[in-house]
Structure 1
Amino acid sequence: MTRTSLRRAAAVILAILLLGLPLPAQNLDFTKGRRHFPFFFAPYTARHVPQPSLTNSPRIETLTRDGKLYLSLQDAIFLALENNLDIAVARYGPDIAETDVLRTQGGGLARGAGGVGTATALGGGPVGSFDPTISYSLNWTRRDIPQTTNFITGTNELKTTPMTNNVTISQSFATGTSVSFIFDASRTSTNSLRSSFNPSFGSSMQVGFSQRLLSGFGFGPNLRFIRVAKNNKQISDQTFLQQVMDIISNVKNAYWELVFVREDVKVKEQSLALAERLHQDNRRQVEIGTLAPIEVVRAESEVARTRQDLIVSQTSLLQQQITLKDLIAKNPMDPLLALVEVIPTEAVETPEMPEVIPIQDAIQIAMEKRPEIIQAQVDLKNRGITISAVKNSMLPTLDAFGFYTGSGLAGQINQLALSDPFFTPPDPQFIGGFNRSVTQAWQGDFPNYGFGVTLTIPLKNRSAQADTARALIEERQAQVRYRRTVNSMIVEVRNTQVALEQNRARIEAAEKSRRLFQETLEAEQKKFQLGASTIFQVIQAQRDLSQAATQEVRARVDFKRAQVAFDRALGRTLERSSISVEGAQTGVVNP
């Protein structure tokens, strides 16, 4: 490695250490702020947020063979987790909620957590910033002031050059306490003959505190926004899981609908084949004179009708593929996907008896797992925290405060004043430089201290009354909303359970109906060949069989959809889809 390369590498490392530039492979946790060590300037630089990936995952190419995308249901679910843009958008919600946690930990107000919560705060906020603050000021001035008399300054043109420095460190705490440390230092040069020092050095050190005793006292009102922000993070997590459940349910439904339309195309193809065979048989019979020509026209009409039904079914197949591609791809127009035919590898077989769960147990499962229920429960906790805080804000403000200040003064004897017959040399303890001044202040040679209380009583107190009333009203509203959510969940669980049982019974009835219509068609065809039936009866039997076959497939697919709805109602969509919460959050899944 050349010296130039070494210098470049050293420069990059130095920039990272000093500026806190983003390092690769970081796990983003926005609830934790960046610290000064080991990157001193890290808290003053923006966090690295990766750019979103808008290209389809490699899994699509892996599953594509000979221009066809072969998909199992689990493959479709995994592709949705990796590529679905609605899920990708929802993943940012918890991160946004984490920024509110970090902001409130510093004493700020929440800005609204990823689609949940609100930035409007009832009552007062924390007593101050929980992050320590250091401020420094430097002021240099040159003054040239004419004097009406030289009795006071010994000159008619007073010239001074003061330079002042100030350092202030302050911080507030969750108990309602605020502390501060202030250091002042000054240096002043002058041409006054009456000044004992030139230059003179002054300094002071002050330690102060204040403590809320009524409104704003204690952890409750001061940690309120942190607790609410953390709860909003839970709500945002549940909102994300709810979105994932909805998308996965949509993917399952779209997959089974694709299976249905493919089977329906096969049914329509069989119907067309039967109509064409009947048409050919009729033409032969007309040619040999055993059938009237009108029967050929009827058969041709049936061929046209079944061909039209096939075209409609094929169109539905193309549309359903587009719907499924949109759910499992970030870019459905990707050349690797746009013209690819989707082939589902799973068929709708006759299912076993549906899962039987007592209704009370099903409701209990939903109460524990449904994201909407958990969101409403956490929201009620937030309402309680808010009510406690706004009640505290109704109290008068009573602050206890105290301070201690040490002062110092030093300087060199003013040489200009030595010619003044009235000049008196200063006390030797004041002769010196800046260090002597600071030592006096630090040792408390010239102390000042005090304490007191400040009481503020808002007459009428209408703002606080309004905030408290609103907080209570909103809590009552949230309680009713929670009950409404629970009731809706109960109705959904009961309805989906009934639908699951009914759709299983439909399958048995549809299978039997299809078998009977198959036997009817075969009987009508034999009778027609013997001259005991008419072409109309044969065509009607073909139509009945086609409809029965479609209804059989429809019943099986509806049972699958009922299972999807039942799992969604119980809040167990993820576990029934072999998806972990971590996999849903990261979008990284392993079959």
Structure 2
Amino acid sequence: MPYWAARAMITVVLMGLISLGGCTTYHTIPQSIGNNTDWVDAIMADVDAGAPPEELPSTQMSPMTIRTVDEFNAVNFRDLSLQETLSIALNNTAVLRDLGASVLRNPDQIGSGFAKPLARLDPQVGTEAALAMFDAQFYALGSWENNDRRFNNRFFGGGSNAFKQDVNDYVFQMSKRTTTGAELAVRSVIDYDANNATGNLLDSAWQTQIHLEARQPLLQGGGLEFNRIAGPAARPGVYSGVLVAKVNQDITNAKFEQGMRDYLSDVINAYWDLYFAYRDLDAKRDATERSLQTWRSYEAQRSSSRKSGAAEALSREQYYRFRSDLQNAIAGQLAQRTRNSNAASGGAFAGVGGVQAAERRLRLLIGIAINDGSLLRPLDEPSQAPVRFDWDSISVEAIQLRSELQQQRLKIKRREMEVLAAKNYLMPQLDLVTIYRMRGLDKRLAGSDSAFADLGTFDLQEYEANLELKLPVGFRQGHLAVRHAKMELARDRAVLKEQERQILHDLAATVAEVERSEALIESSLNRYLAATDALETLQSSQDAGMPVSFEQLLDAQRRVSESQTRYFQSLVEHAIAIKNVEFEKGTLLKSSDVMLIVDSPSY
């Protein structure tokens, strides 16, 4: 094969092999390495303009405003069960919303469905990144050189004072790290040398070599355990192996489960907040109607001069008091609401009314339009059935299933692996390097009487073995790595113990809350019935023309309204308390019929 043909063939092969790893990325060349800046200029034009929205969101209806009972009665209602509400929420949840505007205050920390794939695809610490450290690596080199020199001494010029030379070198290598820490390489070296040295066997010659090289760490950096934990080329205190990445992925999955649990808890809280708002509205509406009748009765008596004006004024004051309460019960205020970590991890019922405010909060949480011409209305009723929990069972469930404890236990397992990896740095670095070479030399590269043909005879074979030792005197960094890893392990174990104590404490508190609210339902109902009986008795006596204490009548009306509201409040407190028990023992997703599918990668 002529020299020019061999050189062209090797160059083509070299370029082809270089392009093996990125055939599908050619379309990015103008963007990434070209001088065409149209793409980035278009981006910066928007940046300089203040980053305006690419498109405006679809126009939504303005918020519904209801001022009177008649307007409220004319509204279209959309009845929703709790299960249907949760289903809508889950279908509209790209981001885990809350009512604290975290998506505006801290958008980088907001939970979303992107958390798991982002963790897996992280190019630095993700699971795929850890696996990529063991991928095979291809390396190629082409070098062309022409030398034209004069030497004062013929010895340095190969027997001539004027030395001319053409040199080409081509290297192709495939290397790979193994999980035992070894680095294996197969290397092809081709070089062409044409010069005027008088002692040459050939005026121009091709030399081919095949290298098989292996470098195996025998102490530090070696072994399956260390490399799966720390990864190849690790440093003390920095562990990013496949097993650590897998644990980090599982922690991310547990965090996502925790975020989904908190989100569902918020939705359930908002649902029962809205239920109470409607029941509170009913109580305020009944009270307003009763007080209006009383006011009109005393107003008629005052006009006929049978009663003093004081009774009419007081009854009028009570009417407007109930009317203002009714207006608040319809519209609501931007006041405190039931939310997670409000006195309890799952939220303590706030007992704040206001249908429209509560309805807007629920709409925001479940991801539907702020107004669609109707009002959401809860269809389900709180359960009044007695509930009993077996403490031994639910405490075990809480310790086993709470996602916070799962995350901490996973951190402890990661720390335990880091302690194992850190101990590797207490050993010296001793590497065994072995190289096996085969050679071929002739005036042509390929064909008969060529370098490839000479290589194929296996006549020229070489072997080399080396031991390399590196020993830090005192192993200070290694000892620091071990002590630091053990300290972090001890800290995480102490945190786990405190977390378990906290969760059992909160679980006991929520169980006690269930029993308290359950007993309160019966008491509140009896109070409501008693207040109703007292009012009906006074009104019956008044209708029969019997003398009735004016103060008692107004007080009885207030007592009925307050006891009615308190009864429904106890019902919602009981429903929230039962939900909070499921929250504390880590079964809220299961009890809500929600299953999270974790797409774990294979290893």
Once residues 446 and 85 of structure 2 are traced to their aligned partners in structure 1, the CA distance between those partners, rounded to angstroms, is 83
Alignment deviations for residues 171-199 of structure 1 (CA, whole Å, 9 cap, x no partner): 11111222112211011233445433232
1:80 aligns with one of 53, 69, 89: 89
1:318 aligns with one of 341, 356, 381: 356
Does the CA contact (< 8 Å) of 1:283 and 1:296 recur in 2? yes
Q: Which residue of 1 aligns with 2:375?
A: 341
Mean Cα deviation higher: 296-305 or 253-262: 296-305
Once residues 178 and 255 of structure 2 are traced to their aligned partners in structure 1, the CA distance between those partners, rounded to angstroms, is 32
Mean Cα deviation higher: 315-324 or 509-518: 315-324
Does the CA contact (< 8 Å) of 2:443 and 2:449 recur in 1? no
Q: Which residue of 2 aligns with 1:21?
A: none
1:502 aligns with one of 511, 516, 519: 516
Once residues 138 and 275 of structure 1 are traced to their aligned partners in structure 2, the CA distance between those partners, rounded to angstroms, is 98
Does the CA contact (< 8 Å) of 2:359 and 2:375 recur in 1? yes
Is 1:223 the counterpart of 2:261 in the alignment? Answer: no
Alignment deviations for residues 104-152 of structure 1 (CA, whole Å, 9 cap, x no partner): 1122xxxxxxxxxxxxxxxxxxxxxx11111011111222223335674
Is 1:352 the counterpart of 2:396 in the alignment? Answer: no
The one-letter amino acid of 2:282's match is K
Q: Where does 1:347-386 land on structure 2 (aligned, <5 Å)?
A: 347-348=381-382, 351-354=384-387, 356-386=388-418
Does the CA contact (< 8 Å) of 1:407 and 1:446 recur in 2? yes
Counterpart secondary structure, 2:386? coil
Q: Which residue of 2 aligns with 1:115?
A: none
Q: Which residue of 2 aligns with 1:124?
A: none
Closer, same or farther in 2 for the Cα pair 1:149/1:459, shift >3 Å? closer
Does the CA contact (< 8 Å) of 1:131 and 1:172 recur in 2? yes
Alignment deviations for residues 443-490 of structure 1 (CA, whole Å, 9 cap, x no partner): 432222121311211112221111111100000001111111111111
Is 1:463 the counterpart of 2:477 in the alignment? Answer: yes
Stretches of structure 1 lacking an aligned partner (at least 5 in a row) = 1-35, 47-53, 57-65, 108-129, 413-430, 587-591
The one-letter amino acid of 1:544's match is R
The one-letter amino acid of 1:567's match is E
Does the CA contact (< 8 Å) of 2:446 and 2:452 recur in 1? no
Once residues 559 and 398 of structure 2 are traced to their aligned partners in structure 1, the CA distance between those partners, rounded to angstroms, is 42
1:571 aligns with one of 586, 589, 592: 586
Does the CA contact (< 8 Å) of 1:411 and 1:432 recur in 2? no
Q: Where does 1:130-529 land on structure 2 (aligned, <5 Å)?
A: 130-148=134-152, 152-153=157-158, 156-224=161-229, 225-314=241-330, 315=332, 316-329=354-367, 332-333=369-370, 337=371, 340-348=374-382, 351-354=384-387, 356-411=388-443, 436-529=450-543
Q: Which residue of 2 aligns with 1:94?
A: 116
Q: Which residue of 1 aligns with 2:72?
A: none
Closer, same or farther in 2 for the Cα pair 1:471/1:523, shift >3 Å? same
Count matched residues: 487
Counterpart secondary structure, 2:174? strand
Does the CA contact (< 8 Å) of 1:91 and 1:585 recur in 2? no
Once residues 471 and 148 of structure 1 are traced to their aligned partners in structure 2, the CA distance between those partners, rounded to angstroms, is 64
Counterpart secondary structure, 2:171? strand
Does the CA contact (< 8 Å) of 1:410 and 1:434 recur in 2? no
Alignment deviations for residues 419-443 of structure 1 (CA, whole Å, 9 cap, x no partner): xxxxxxxxxxxx9879732333454
Q: Which residue of 2 aligns with 1:105?
A: 131
Closer, same or farther in 2 for the Cα pair 1:432/1:472, shift >3 Å? closer
How far does residue 359 in structure 1 lie from its aligned partner after superposition? Answer: 0.8
How far does residue 40 in structure 1 lie from its aligned partner after superposition? Answer: 8.0
The one-letter amino acid of 1:341's match is L
Counterpart secondary structure, 1:466? helix
Under a length normalisation based on structure 2, what TM-score does the superposition of the two structures give? 0.76
Counterpart secondary structure, 1:289? coil
Closer, same or farther in 2 for the Cα pair 1:463/1:42, shift >3 Å? farther
Closer, same or farther in 2 for the Cα pair 1:184/1:567, shift >3 Å? same
Once residues 295 and 131 of structure 2 are traced to their aligned partners in structure 1, the CA distance between those partners, rounded to angstroms, is 81
Closer, same or farther in 2 for the Cα pair 1:402/1:155, shift >3 Å? closer
Q: Which residue of 2 aligns with 1:59?
A: none
Mean Cα deviation higher: 92-101 or 276-285: 92-101
Once residues 137 and 579 of structure 2 are traced to their aligned partners in structure 1, the CA distance between those partners, rounded to angstroms, is 55
How far does residue 299 in structure 1 lie from its aligned partner after superposition? Answer: 1.3
The Cα RMSD (Å) is 2.8
How far does residue 83 in structure 1 lie from its aligned partner after superposition? Answer: 1.5
Does the CA contact (< 8 Å) of 1:528 and 1:535 recur in 2? no
Once residues 539 and 270 of structure 1 are traced to their aligned partners in structure 2, the CA distance between those partners, rounded to angstroms, is 14
Does the CA contact (< 8 Å) of 2:137 and 2:174 recur in 1? yes
Mean Cα deviation higher: 402-411 or 187-196: 187-196
Identical aligned pairs, as a percentage?
A: 20
Closer, same or farther in 2 for the Cα pair 1:75/1:55, shift >3 Å? farther
Counterpart secondary structure, 1:142? strand
Does the CA contact (< 8 Å) of 2:137 and 2:176 recur in 1? yes
Closer, same or farther in 2 for the Cα pair 1:395/1:275, shift >3 Å? same
Does the CA contact (< 8 Å) of 1:201 and 1:433 recur in 2? no
Q: Which residue of 2 aligns with 1:421?
A: none
Stretches of structure 2 lacking an aligned partner (at least 5 in a row) = 1-19, 29-55, 59-74, 98-110, 230-240, 333-353
Closer, same or farther in 2 for the Cα pair 1:43/1:495, shift >3 Å? farther
Under a length normalisation based on structure 1, what TM-score does the superposition of the two structures give? 0.77
Once residues 508 and 84 of structure 1 are traced to their aligned partners in structure 2, the CA distance between those partners, rounded to angstroms, is 39
